[in-house]
Structure 1
Amino acid sequence: MTISLAIEGSGFTSKTRDEVRYFEHALFVIDEHGVIQSVLEPGDECYQSEKAQAQANGTYQSIADGSYLLPGFIDLHVHAPQWAQDGTGLDEPLEVWLGKYTFPTESKFADESFAHTVYEDLVTRMLSTGTTTASYYATVHRNGSLVLAQGAERLGQRALVGKVVMDDPEANPEYYRDASAQAAIEETERFINEVAKLNEHSVQGVYPVITPRFIPSCTDEALRGLGELAERYKTYAYIQTHCSESDWEHGYAYERYGRSDTHMLREFGLFTDRSILAHSVYPSEEDMRVFAETGAIAVHCPLSNAFFAGAVAPIRRYLAAGMHVALGSDISGGYNPDLYGAIRQAMISSRMLETGVNRDLAAQERGVEGSALTLSNAFYLATAGGGESLGLPIGRLEAGYAWDAQVVDTRHPGARLPIFEPNEPASDIFQKIMNLAVPENVRTVWVQGRKVVNKENGAR
């Protein structure tokens, strides 16, 4: 084993879903594969010798006082082409927003040069705010989708990338859809193999994702064929789609099949332990059991849900039911590419669910008791929860995990956090970082041991 990095610093990582662990001047020993081999505390017997050896061979780095290490964030729902329309159209209903803004924007990604410009900017932006892993929807264009996978691989972000399938001529505009179900299936399979080949040379990992946009945009033939691909490539391809996002989408499945979209996705072979189900706001008790039994991931997108879902997903209830839950920004239904924003909105939305919003009801009738998330819960969803859901060793700063980490400088000029006491409790510092940090505070980011963001004064 070759040691490539030894980083000394203080910071935070999830210990459990409810508890965050603070470490002070821990020494992280990272091998040539970007994996944490050991985490040494100052009182450990070999701490000083390992530190001295790293200093001697030039692999030692120390995080500056006032700066803190956090795991890289994991964003499991991003519409990458929608970065080009981000911040627009959020006052429209979902079905109107898609036709008026989204499909016209996504159709432009037939132009690979345009795709390169937008995707490069988005991946760079997300890395700069601490998102080290992202699950991306691209567009129906296979070549443009490959541009996204190649860009993420080159820039150093761990990425799950899907060529979108939307083949139903009755549901999708003529200018933006797959030519047929068969063409969609064939292009998806070709894309899977192209990304798998790209991944052979990737340090951090770039994974193909089978991506039916959602049931309303796909024919049964396409859904069935994609399910067959999911079985054929189950060792390395993931699956992603939207599930019960809004009253409209949730009701659509019942109108078409007489069953929920959870049930139908499972029937088509698209609901497995590698399925990433965005939103999942309205699953029934039976649907929740399907999530728990299969190990499928419910991706909570609290900001976009505030615009389009019509309800708040009961995340604590999902976790109590044994469901995997992760966090997503849902660009551009959620306009903020910074996952700190999703962490905060998850807290806000859950608090509103608990207390209720209709002031004309009595307080005891207004909300849903036991719904509120803590900052520790939301931080877990954005880090360890995402890694566990994907079955990847990411999301924690512990031995055996990838060195995916961000440095947050609480003293950065112009973005200083209100930390004034020399012995301020670590729990208070954590809360201030989670609630107040802005992109300027994130100074350094590593993915799989590779430094991919290096702003001035982030580390020394």
Structure 2
Amino acid sequence: MDTVQRVFKGTFIHSTHTCAMEVLENHILGTSNAGKILFFEEAREQTRLVQKWGFEESNIEELGKNAFFMPGMVDTHIHAPQYSFIGTGMERPLLEWLKHTTFPIEDTYADVEIASNVYNSVVRRTLKNGTTTACYFATIHTDASILLADIASVYGQRAFIGKICMDSNNTYPQYKENTEESIEETKRFVEVLKKKKYDRVKPIVTPRFAVTCSENLLNKLGTLAEEHQLHIQSHISESLAEIEEVLNLFPGYKNYTDVYDRNKLLTDKTVMAHGCHLSNEELLVFREKGAAISHCPNSNISLCSGHLDVQNILKHKVKLGLGTDIAGGYSISLLDSIRKAIETSKIIFMEKQKRQRENNEIDILQRKMAAHGINSNVNNSVMEMENNHNVLSIKEAFRLATLGGSEALSIDHITGNFEVDKEFDALLIDPEAIDSPFEVFYDIPKEEIIQRFLYLGDDRNISAVYVAGRCVVPFHTNS
């Protein structure tokens, strides 16, 4: 029998495959030395659990009255080197921003000292903000990318690390590789990470996006991922200008999704960032392949790329998680992603309401014209009723940041909620922390406290972060 390492008692919230958010008060959870959840039951079962598992009741760690545990958050799309210029240079659209800000700075990461400084900072900052799993883009530099993997492992973060591959860069020509070099260095990167045998840090095949990759490179990366059963990440349909450029570069393909699909880069281990302008036809391909989308609402707004219709993604049963996409997004916190995902959903809802009102006005005008024997030339197709659009709820957005993210990365059998046998990735939330950004004035339902944290809270309310049972924040705690 596994040995009980720690036992917690209090309120826990998480998502399941059938419920966006469960609030479980007065529960007890035990973890093993290996960091897995041994039991998770109502606290009234405490005596039986003590007898079964042989732990001391005096060792039970009871949470404060308003405190609660939630699963660690999963950032399905983040650019680690871009942390150095987060919150700057955002006055340009995507392709111009890449040319003038991103590529020149990423090019400096050939210097591992520069990389070390930034990568240590970004891993610490993401962990402090509750990101227990991060899916990182690095740069084209293999040694610096290996360094990022080392740093994530040292701090205990669960991570996918991607050495970027790009053999074409017309906007900043000095920042690219030749095709064979990109493939060979990616192979070296994968081999080194496998030899290191990290517990929770894995390589991920990372063509930057189709604009910076030749067909030959995409095809070889797809083959490499297939041979080694590797995860894959890239960008897709972030902006209209990007889509136009892809169609110009790949005239033999029917759409953006087809470029990745025909080169074996759409699998059940693929996560594609953005997808703002994917057609329903493309979403059907995503569902068929089991590929996921990373919703990055802050970046989508900040770079004026577009809005992702989350309800349409969910309707098509495509896996979906949230991403910060720093530095296209200006916040490193997934709490911001939760909030902006909800706001984006409301914007789309209001836009659809406006179109519906316009359609109704046209319908009324056509009826009046018909009553007077006047034929209308207005296209009847614009009068089709909008599909019902439900605004994304706080509970659904919470799910996307936790279990949804683990599903998108195909690790939901390992983490994402508090099911028994999963690893204990968790955040201990204290709504009454010193200098908390919000107050709890009197007794209110636990669900209202949770909502206040999700809408108003920040890292000051995250008093502890656990990855696979290990307390990784505060940073001096190694238990």
1:136 and 2:157 matched? no
Q: How does 1:6-405 map to 2 (within 5 A)?
A: 6-16=7-17, 19-44=20-45, 46=47, 49=50, 53-55=54-56, 60-168=60-168, 171=170, 173-178=172-177, 180-198=178-196, 200-202=197-199, 205-234=200-229, 237-258=230-251, 259-356=254-351, 362=357, 369-392=388-411, 393-405=414-426
> How far is the alpha carbon of 1:46 from its aligned partner?
4.1
Residues 4 and 53 in structure 2, CA contact (< 8 A), matched pair in contact too: no
Q: Aligned equivalents of 1:357 and 1:386: distance in 2?
A: 27
Q: Report if the CA contact (8 A) 2:50-2:56 is conserved.
A: no
Secondary structure of 2:434's counterpart equals coil
Is the deviation greater in 245-254 or in 110-119? 245-254
Q: Distance in 1 between matches of 2:173 and 2:258?
A: 29
Distance in structure 1 (CA, Å) of the matches to 2:471 and 2:461 = 16
Which of 425, 443, 459 is the matching residue for 2:463? 443
Tell me the distance in 2 between the aligned counterparts of 1:356 and 1:208. 40
Tell me the secondary structure at the aligned position of residue 311 of structure 1. Answer: coil
- CA offsets, 1:248-268, max 9 Å, x none? 112222222242221110101
Aligned residues of 1:146 and 1:191 also touching (Cα < 8 A): yes
Q: For residues 2 and 426 of structure 1, do their structure 2 counterparts lie closer, same or farther at Cα, with a shift above 3 Å needed?
A: same
Q: Would the alpha carbon gap of residues 346 and 50 (structure 1) be closer, same or farther in structure 2, given more than 3 Å must change?
A: farther
Q: Distance in 2 between matches of 1:33 and 1:312?
A: 41
Deviation at 1:273, TM superposition (A): 0.6
Which runs of no fewer than 5 residues in structure 2 stay unpaired?
A: 362-385
**DSSP 3-state at the match of 2:44:** coil
- CA separation of 1:358/1:27 partners in 2, compared to 1, >3 Å: closer, same or farther? closer
Deviation at residue 449 of structure 1 after TM alignment: 0.6
Contact 2:123 2:155 in 1 (8 A): yes
Using the TM superposition, give the Cα deviation of residue 239 of structure 1 relative to its aligned residue in structure 2, in angstroms.
0.5
Counting aligned pairs with the same residue, the percent is: 32
Cα offsets for 1:74-125 (capped at 9, x unmatched) = 0010000000010011110111110111011101111111111101011001
CA drift at 1:33: 1.4
Question: Alpha-carbon deviations, 1:364-400, whole Å to 9, x = none?
Answer: 7798741420011111111011112222221102212
Q: Give the residue type in structure 2 aligned to 1:99.
A: K
2:408 corresponds to 1:410: no
- Evaluate the alpha carbon distance shift between residue 62 and residue 257 of structure 1 in structure 2; reply closer, same or farther with a 3 A threshold: same
Aligned CA RMSD, in angstroms, stands at 2.3
Do the aligned residues in 1 keep the contact of 2:76 with 2:408 (CA within 8 Å)? no
Q: Which runs of 5+ in 1 are unaligned?
A: none
Please report the TM-score for the alignment, with normalisation by the length of structure 1: 0.92
User: What letter matches 2:248 in structure 1?
Assistant: E
Shift of the alpha carbon at 1:59?
5.3
d(CA) in 1 for partners of 2:51, 2:118? 43
Count matched residues: 448
Distance 2:211 2:415 in 1: 33
CA-to-aligned-CA distance 1:18-38 (integer Å, 9 cap, x gap): 531111232111112111111
Alpha-carbon distance change, 378 to 365 in structure 1, aligned in 2, over 3 angstroms: farther
- 3-state SS of paired residue (2:26): strand
